[in-house]
Amino acid sequence: MKVTVIGVGNIGGAIARGLAKGTILKASDITCTDLVQENLDKMTQSNKDFVISTTNIEAVKDANIIIIAVKPWRVESVINEIKYSLKYDKQIIVSIAAGIPFDRLNEFLDKESNLEHGTPTVFRVIPNTAIEVCSSMTFVSSCNASDEQEDLIVNLFNELGSAMLIEEQLMTAGTALASSGIAFAMRYIRASSEGGVELGFYPNQAKEIVLKTVKGAVDLLIANQSNPETEIDKVTTPGGITIKGLNEMELSGFTSSVIRGLKASK
Domains in the chain, start-ordered, CATH in brackets? 3-166 (3.40.50.720), 174-264 (1.10.3730.10)
d(CA 189, CA 183): 10
pLDDT for residue 115 = 55
What lies within 8 Å, CB to CB, of 32 at 6+ separation is 4, 5, 8, 12, 13, 16, 40, 43, 50, 51, 52, 53
**Tens-level pLDDT at each residue, the chain (266 residues):** 999 999 999 999 999 999 999 999 999 999 999 999 999 999 999 999 999 998 999 999 999 999 999 999 999 999 999 998 999 989 999 999 988 999 999 999 975 555 566 789 999 999 999 999 999 999 999 999 999 999 999 999 999 999 999 999 999 999 999 999 999 999 999 999 999 999 999 999 999 999 999 999 999 999 999 999 999 999 999 999 999 999 999 999 999 999 999 999 88
Largest CA distance in the chain: 72
According to DSSP, the residues that pair with 30 across neighbouring strands are 3
Picking from 180, 166, 169, the residue whose alpha carbon sits closest to that of residue 262 is: 180
d(CA 127, CA 140): 9
Helix, strand, or coil here: 106?
helix
Residue 78 contacts residue 108 (beta carbons within 8 Å):
no
Give this prediction's pTM: 0.91
d(CA 165, CA 54): 32
pLDDT for residue 236 = 94
**CA–CA distance from 58 to each of 29, 51, 96 (Å)?**
15, 12, 21
